[in-house]
Amino acid sequence: MSNLFRLDGQSVLVTGALGGIGLATARALLEQGASVVLCDQAPVSDVLLAELGPNARSAVCDVTDRRAVEQLFRDFPNTDGLVLSAGILPFDDWMDEQWDASFDRVMAVNVRGSINLARVFFPAMCERRSGKIVFVGSVAGRMGGMQAGPHYAASKGAVHALVRWFAQRAAPNGVNVNGIAPGSIATEMLAGKPFDTSRVPMGRMGMADEVAWPIAFLCSSASNYMNGAVMDVNGGLIFS
């Protein structure tokens, strides 16, 4: 029996790929045999590309710019998998007068950015009757978050809703759309921020590769009967 977790011959595009969960996901996908396009606002360095190997390519795109996203699709029209991990998490005061601009930026990146990518890649996947899309949500979208502000929690709740919206339309067309809801992960996003590990049953923060490998699973044929699921990877947090 073939190994359904392998991704040989598959092309996967990962947004937010320069660090944290995005980069860890790109590494996991490459290890499973995929060709990976690492997409971010800045180009991937030649040093990193050389380290990742010949199956890694780089793309520059601002996910909030619909025209730039449309060009990204023209550059990589035969993408088999899409991992939407681009996101921001500002730590600011939601009562501050300047917070409205922060709210708009969070929604632009975390929500509209994901929609921009999905709306251009999804129809082609449906036409081919094959494809995987993984939205990266957050435990904050489940429970309101432990440190995150209301803009971030709301944006990730919206991402979880998008998983279900697209999945309903994907399933009849042979496409799988799922999501993942990480807990607090030790990445640059949370670097230097205080964190109370006693609130997590496992007593620690997660590591980026502990999220990356479940994402790789969702990109593989092993997840073929999953559609509309948001997988929790949060160290045992339980919420009502």
Active site residues: 152
The three-state DSSP-derived secondary structure of the chain is: CCCCCCCCCCEEEEECCCCHHHHHHHHHHHHCCCEEEEEECCCCCHHHHHHHCCCEEEEECCCCCHHHHHHHHHHCCCCCEEEECCCCCCCCCCCCCCHHHHHHHHHHHHHHHHHHHHHHHHHHHHHHCCEEEEEECCCHHHHCCCCCCHHHHHHHHHHHHHHHHHHHHHHHHCEEEEEEEECCECCHHHCCCCCCHHHCCCCCCECHHHHHHHHHHHCCHHHCCCCCCEEEECCCCCCC
